[in-house]
Structure 1
Amino acid sequence: MKNEVQMKGKFHYRLSGWKYNTGLRILLFLILGLIFYFTLYAKLVPQVFDITLGMKSEKTIYAPEQIENAVATEQAKEDAAKRVQPVYKIVNLKNEVISDAIFDKLSQINADDEVKFDDKVSIYRRVIPQLISDLTNDAIKTLRNSGQYNDLLLEQIQLGLSDQKYPLPEEIYFKLPRLTKEDLADMRPVTKEIVTKLMNDQILDAQTARAKVAEVVNTSTLSKNTSREMVTEIARALITPNKFFDQKGTDDAKGQARGNMKTVYINKNDVLVKAGDVITEEIYTRLEKLKLLKDKANHLPQLGLGILCALLSFVIFIFVRQSNLQVKYNNLQLVMLVLIFVMNIAGMKIISLLQNFDYPFIGYLAPTALGSILIAILLDAPLAFISSVLFSIIASIIFNTEHDALFDFRFGLVSLVICFSGVFTIQRASQRATILKAGLMIAFFSMLTITAMLLMEDHFQQREALMSLSFATAGGLVTVVFVIGLLPFFEASFGILSPLKLVELSNPNHPLLRKLLTETPGTYHHSVMVGNLSEAAAESIGADGLLCRVGSYYHDIGKTKRPSYFIENQTNIENPHDRIDPNLSKSIIIAHPRDGVDMLKDYKMPKPIRDIAEQHHGTTLLHFFYHKAKKQAEEENSEKGIREEDFRYPGPKAQSKEAAIVGIADSVEAAVRSLRNPTLEQIDSMVTKIIKSRLDDGQFNECDLTLKELDKIAKTLNETLLGIFHSRIEYPSELTAKKPGA
């Protein structure tokens, strides 16, 4: 029955008030999920607007992602096509061959004396133009058979030759029959040379080239005026255009220019519509393509985001539920966990505002490992590892500047690596300098991960690599600054006693420890011994050994109010309890836990330290003064009854493993110190007796110590005491050997 009442008291102590309310705990996890949802909403769910065609926009709308500007792209392509120069083809028509054919015909006809003069004139009037036309057509046919020229170009060549044909003057036909064989022989090479020379130039307008013929003929070797005149006219007839406009080639060049033109984009955060602008069809189509129209909105991304955030929150919920951490029951610590998530995500969001498509590497500046380090120091390292995974997922979404995927694995991987490295470095931290070391490790592993990714890419820009590494280094230093700045805030606001704070409190220069040393040296020595014993015992069962050690240093600080009333401080003085009533002695002794708590509160000591000072005696009985009071009452034949409850400490009983362990170590140290020459058997018996006495007295009913753990504590205390008192212990073998007169 007694145990049942004690268990109910324990349950009430732990679960009463808002700090242990189950409904509030569930609400906090829901709040954490909502924080995830609203943090990632802008990244994963496009904003929509109530807009119709032809209306004026009530607000300025920015592009939520990069999108092609189709109109600007098409305009840029057209501009590029307009800048393309017309394409011309140079064609070798071999007009010098026509020159040889004409002179062959002239030599043949002029040498025939049977043909009359008039007939020769008629022949030349008919044959020479036909000869030029036939040979030109043959040249075009050759070009077509070569396959190098398209039909459209061949048409342009034929049309150009036809339009710029040179008609020989009528009087030329009357002069040609009079040319002698010698005249023709002189004229042939000169004509061919002039045609070849002028046709080597690019001729678009034949008239320009023909104007040069007379000047070239005048510088030739011909001396007769008639010969010069005949050569001039024949050469002009043979000078034709050889540079022709290639429509298909021009179209192909323009098409290539269009194809080479880069797509014009509207970048993320560029203005799509200014407030007051009329929504044109082009703008409306663009907004529709970006899914920014309310009536065309897709609500599936919202559902997907809700499921994702629920999963992220559920991961934390399941881990906490399966753990034995205080955050499982203590809503105050859960509030702190949620606040750490809020601060860490807020830091990432602020840095993401500085990002853009051209400078995505600014994301490496974010103190992503801040939350993981704070959780490792203030709560638990395994919980910090789980949180690190969530932080890396969130970072891969927040810092994602690419829109072809929901996550950017680069930022997720770097965040995961630096969070893990920070937790590994800080989880056994014993001084503030370790935080700086963690910052350096974060910077180093961040740079190492980024370097690995850059080396695996096909190509990377040197500037981008240097900027990424620089921001990663700065991110590690920023993380250190924020951890050092925020750690005291969380310790003070939530009553968290971190290992770093515990190490600071264990400094002998602390005012209370100096007071304990100078005013109660015996109690100080006793407290140090209890610290050694309790730390070893706590570590043997996985409890907080450092908390036990530091709590032991302060557990008897209340004795400094009346130091002479405690036996460890009674050096060469009379014991004042011998002269006073046992009830008064009892009041003085049981007051020291309460006095200690008051002193610790005055110095704003953390609650776990105060709890150890208040609970280390629990509700144990002051056996000596209880029996002394009963004996006095019997001798005085007093009718007043002596109640056992009046000689018990007020409690409460130990509420934590650490408080219970300090209480055991406190009793064991005092008991063993009272032995003159303690043996191994005496120590073992004393430890077992004290633990059993407290167990039977129900002092462990309100903490989580098991019988197996009590057995481990007893063994550890024996081993530790053996090391402390080894020089004074007489082992059984030695006792047997030491006989009188030996």
Structure 2
Amino acid sequence: MAEKKPGKKIWTGKPPKRGEQERRLSIKNETKGKSNARYELTRWGVTVFLSIIIAVLLYPGLLSKPKQYKLGDIAQRDIKASHEFLIEDTTLTEKNRIKAVKEAPPVYDFDPSGSNAINRIKEAFATARRSLASLEKDQEISPKGVSSSQPAKPGDTQETFSKEKFYEILEIPPDDTLFQKLEKSTFPVEVENLVIRLLAPVLRKGIVLNKKEILGHATHGLVLHNILNDREIMVADASRFFDLTEAKRFIRQKWEKTNRPLLPPELKQVGLTLALALLKPNVTFNKRETELRKDAARKSVRPVYFKVKKGEMIVREGEPIREEHLLKLAEEYKFLNKDKFLGHIPAMAVLVGFLLFSFYLVTTPTTLQTMGKKRDLLFQALILIVFFLIAMAANFIASEIARGFPFVTSRALIFAIPIASGPMLVSLFQGIRIAAGFSVLLSVLTALVLGGQVEFFVYFLIGSLLAAHGMRECRERGVFIKTGLKVGLINMVLAIAIETLHGFFYTVEPLVASATAFFGGILVAVITTGSVPLIEMAFGYTTDIKLLELASLDQPLLRQLMVQAPGTYHHSVIVSQMVEASAKAVGANPLLAKVAAYYHDIGKMKKPLYFIENQINGQNKHEKLAPSMSSLILISHVKDGVEMAMKHKLGQPIIDIIRQHHGTSLITYFYEKAKEQAEHRSDKAPQIKEEDFRYPGPKPQTKEAGLVMLADAVQAASKTLVDPTPARIQGLVQRIINRIFSDGQLDECELTLKDLHQIAKSFNKTLSGIFHQRIEYPEPMPKAPGGRKAANGNTDQMAAGDSRNQRSGNKTKNGESLRRLGLS
């Protein structure tokens, strides 16, 4: 807790003025917009170019015209299928169609009006009873309101409600005897209910005219079609229906079991007779609809095809052309027909284009610096095309070898294709995240070359991801060989599994496949090892291997720095120790940060004595120069360092950090000195511009560049501490980081506030170790000329006057001056 509390003060400094903030933001957004537009234009151009090239290469019949054969001709050469296609099996197709027609269920219409017979019974009986009641009422009351004593005459009921009307409602032929019995008993409700109870269960199940006929038709069920609401249901068991005989038998049996004590036998017989009369079929066969559906079932049967795989032999040289050959050749020539060129190539280009777009969508970086690097896109395009061509060439060579050696299949030889080298190189130069997406992309395209076989997609994808993973921390060239061996071993297991899936477990194929797969892993290591130096030179990439070489203190440039500017060399070594420790804490690249710190001040070798750490005997050359000239000399060391780094080919990342390690910071001491001299002059001096005393930039764009800037300033300022106790070191680190942060120098790099806190803690630890307290020996220490004795027994290399001249004019809140900022 004691360490965190001071660290939070880092971000309490005053922000830049509002106008300055808006100006910086506007320039930054404008620059970012232009860079993004250029990047998008390049990316779309690369996508279109690659899509067209790959689509053309995947079209097999572009350069050759196939020979047209006739039945009985002799094949002049071996002809293999250039793609996978299907041939219709007409015999099996016709067999399936006949089966579909037989299994098509017949359609029977269901007339729900049969079910409405119950409603008609209720209506007929109710109407008859109302008519009788109305007639009796008319007989009792005369037209003048006097009761009539004359009895009803026979036939009066028929005048109001005739038997024809009764039977019309019931929709059955008239029966005089039956009607008279019902009329005499005044159409009792008991008879009505009896008829309903007898008919209801029969009508619900359905009545057919001929049950044997329906059982013969509906061997696989039938479709029951309701003719009123047009709904259909599937009936699996046609025996559920009654025919007329079964229906009458069922009604009689139910009638015999009916117990109606209040109903006379005569009326009970009337109920049975009426129920039997109302029986009629309500399920009928629909021949027309059945034929239509059988025809539809026949047409719905899809043709049966047998597959001809890519690379399968269609006809061999010298073999007579048979009917089956003509069918296969016809399908093959359809694909190779030049007329399909305008259709196949654009379609394939669209598919490949979307595949590339998906890859860029997932792997596109978001930082301005990375998006501006078109070389990354060009590198990916080159690797993709090269290994795509390798896959095509290897596929052709494997086919030719398999022709000469019958015991070896082309599939077994394909396992040796070193596709994993592509993602391995991408991972080494651009990181595993981009390499993972590139692995999927290249594996899909390789599988297309091999006929779209899924097992090869899985095979190359696993090998590619394993190879990319092996490059995460590549610090020596032996890692290439180790990764290649791992890929080879995994490939062996995958090859055996794939051959086993194809049924070759008890043959020699798995042995051949595993041998070629392991050889493919060795090829991966060899190709990667030989390609890395070429790619480094062609694209200017800097790998960890090269960084380790540059980190050697025996490098000529570092030895030259040690001799010509020993103070700067010592300063660079300490800065490298500081950034290496802090880079681990914030997730940056410790090796890149360390090596960049070694070389960040190599430009000081041009004029070493103009920098305080290299001055001896207290001689300060800036005392005889104008402030503007001094600032130009200090600023020039950045430009000189970039030129020297380019000359010695240190790599773009190190060159960028050299260019950015001062950002656009202000050389405060000489700026204040120039303003002070201008105020004391009597003549009209030109106006002092702050821009003339600022480094040209750009500001740090990466974490590593930001770390070098912070460590450079903190280490230079730490040499001004008289008594470097841990508390004073901590305060100094806080002030320096706060000043750089408040000046906006870290706006364009990826360092967060949490990172700054971790950096401060790391700097405190490193500097405390460097300035640890030593035992002060009793014997007196002589003073160096022009110097003063430091608390640790060492002499300061600056004279008193020099020290005063080198102090910064930008003071912190507690009043302490930060010395030599801008001169380090």
TM norm. shorter chain > 0.5: yes
* TM-score normalised per structure 2: 0.57
Computed over aligned residues only, the root mean square deviation of the Cα atoms, in angstroms, reads 4.2
Distance 2:543 2:34 in 1: 25
| Cα deviations by residue, 1:375-409 (Å, 9 ceiling, x for unpaired) | 10111201112222233333334345xxxxx4141
1:697 pairs with one of 743, 747, 759: 743
Change (3 A) 1:299 1:288: farther
Map of 1:619 onto structure 2: 664
Q: Which moved more, 1:508-517 or 1:645-654?
A: 645-654
Map of 2:332 onto structure 1: 290
1:2 pairs with one of 20, 34, 39: 20
The Cα shift of 1:559 comes to 0.7
The Cα shift of 1:427 comes to 1.3
Map of 2:41 onto structure 1: 23
User: Given that residues 19 and 332 in structure 1 are in contact (C-alpha distance below 8 angstroms), is that contact kept between their aligned partners in structure 2?
Assistant: no
User: Given that residues 55 and 345 in structure 2 are in contact (C-alpha distance below 8 angstroms), is that contact kept between their aligned partners in structure 1?
Assistant: no
Distance 1:451 1:649 in 2: 63
Q: Does 1:394 align with 2:394?
A: no
The Cα shift of 1:13 comes to 4.2
Map of 2:601 onto structure 1: 556
Q: Does 1:343 align with 2:386?
A: yes
Map of 1:313 onto structure 2: 356
Letter in structure 2 aligned against 1:676: V
The Cα shift of 1:546 comes to 2.4
Map of 1:662 onto structure 2: 708
Q: Does 1:444 align with 2:444?
A: no
Q: Does 1:63 align with 2:80?
A: yes
Map of 2:717 onto structure 1: 671
Q: Does 1:715 align with 2:761?
A: yes
Map of 2:557 onto structure 1: 512
The structure that has the greater radius of gyration is 1
The Cα shift of 1:724 comes to 3.7
Where do 5+ consecutive residues of structure 2 fail to align? Answer: 1-18, 88-307, 403-408, 777-824
Q: Does 1:466 align with 2:511?
A: yes
Map of 1:407 onto structure 2: 453
Distance 1:557 1:512 in 2: 8
Within 5 Å, give how 1:176-215 maps onto structure 2: none
Distance 1:456 1:56 in 2: 38
| Cα deviations by residue, 1:428-451 (Å, 9 ceiling, x for unpaired) | 111222112222222222223334
* TM-score normalised per structure 1: 0.62
Secondary structure of the 1:429 match is coil
Distance 2:718 2:554 in 1: 29
Change (3 A) 1:367 1:318: same
| Cα deviations by residue, 1:95-147 (Å, 9 ceiling, x for unpaired) | xxxxxxxxxxxxxxxxxxxxxxxxxxxxxxxxxxxxxxxxxxxxxxxxxxxxx
The Cα shift of 1:368 comes to 1.0
Within 5 Å, give how 1:417-456 maps onto structure 2: 417-453=462-498
Change (3 A) 1:308 1:46: farther
User: Given that residues 75 and 321 in structure 2 are in contact (C-alpha distance below 8 angstroms), is that contact kept between their aligned partners in structure 1?
Assistant: no
Secondary structure of the 2:674 match is helix
Q: Does 1:607 align with 2:673?
A: no
Q: Does 1:37 align with 2:55?
A: yes
Identity of aligned residues (%): 33
The Cα shift of 1:541 comes to 3.1
Distance 2:590 2:651 in 1: 16
Distance 1:314 1:302 in 2: 18
The Cα shift of 1:271 comes to 7.1
Map of 1:113 onto structure 2: none
User: Given that residues 394 and 417 in structure 2 are in contact (C-alpha distance below 8 angstroms), is that contact kept between their aligned partners in structure 1?
Assistant: yes
Distance 1:303 1:31 in 2: 12
| Cα deviations by residue, 1:321-345 (Å, 9 ceiling, x for unpaired) | 4765965453321121111111222
Letter in structure 2 aligned against 1:351: A
Secondary structure of the 1:618 match is coil
Distance 2:675 2:531 in 1: 57
Change (3 A) 1:348 1:587: same
Map of 2:423 onto structure 1: 372
Secondary structure of the 1:650 match is coil
The Cα shift of 1:281 comes to 7.7
The Cα shift of 1:549 comes to 1.6
Map of 1:492 onto structure 2: 537
Map of 2:296 onto structure 1: none
Letter in structure 1 aligned against 2:427: A
Change (3 A) 1:602 1:14: farther
Map of 1:595 onto structure 2: 640
Distance 1:571 1:352 in 2: 71
Distance 1:599 1:322 in 2: 30
User: Given that residues 531 and 550 in structure 1 are in contact (C-alpha distance below 8 angstroms), is that contact kept between their aligned partners in structure 2?
Assistant: yes
Within 5 Å, give how 1:84-483 maps onto structure 2: 268=312, 284-292=326-334, 294=337, 305=348, 308-321=351-364, 328-356=371-399, 358-399=409-450, 406-409=452-455, 411-453=456-498, 459-461=504-506, 463-483=508-528
Distance 1:550 1:60 in 2: 63
User: Given that residues 19 and 331 in structure 1 are in contact (C-alpha distance below 8 angstroms), is that contact kept between their aligned partners in structure 2?
Assistant: no
Change (3 A) 1:292 1:633: closer
Distance 1:367 1:396 in 2: 14
Secondary structure of the 1:601 match is helix
Letter in structure 2 aligned against 1:700: L
Secondary structure of the 2:649 match is coil
Letter in structure 2 aligned against 1:675: L
The Cα shift of 1:573 comes to 5.1
The Cα shift of 1:38 comes to 3.8
The Cα shift of 1:555 comes to 0.8
| Cα deviations by residue, 1:24-56 (Å, 9 ceiling, x for unpaired) | 32232333444553454449x999859596999
User: Given that residues 463 and 487 in structure 2 are in contact (C-alpha distance below 8 angstroms), is that contact kept between their aligned partners in structure 1?
Assistant: yes
Distance 2:768 2:72 in 1: 90
Change (3 A) 1:292 1:619: same
User: Given that residues 36 and 371 in structure 2 are in contact (C-alpha distance below 8 angstroms), is that contact kept between their aligned partners in structure 1?
Assistant: no
Change (3 A) 1:279 1:447: closer
Change (3 A) 1:66 1:41: closer
**Paired residues, number:** 527
The Cα shift of 1:519 comes to 1.8
Distance 1:323 1:654 in 2: 16
Distance 1:52 1:620 in 2: 80
Change (3 A) 1:278 1:468: closer
Secondary structure of the 1:387 match is helix
User: Given that residues 619 and 648 in structure 1 are in contact (C-alpha distance below 8 angstroms), is that contact kept between their aligned partners in structure 2?
Assistant: yes
Q: Which moved more, 1:591-600 or 1:11-20?
A: 11-20
Map of 1:531 onto structure 2: 576
Change (3 A) 1:694 1:542: same
Secondary structure of the 1:674 match is coil
Distance 1:678 1:668 in 2: 13
Distance 2:694 2:74 in 1: 79
Distance 1:62 1:325 in 2: 54
Distance 1:297 1:46 in 2: 13
The Cα shift of 1:650 comes to 2.6
**Structure with greater proportional helix content:** 1
Change (3 A) 1:563 1:345: same
Change (3 A) 1:421 1:267: closer
Change (3 A) 1:558 1:291: same
User: Given that residues 593 and 613 in structure 1 are in contact (C-alpha distance below 8 angstroms), is that contact kept between their aligned partners in structure 2?
Assistant: yes
Change (3 A) 1:489 1:20: farther
Distance 2:752 2:83 in 1: 62
Distance 1:577 1:40 in 2: 69
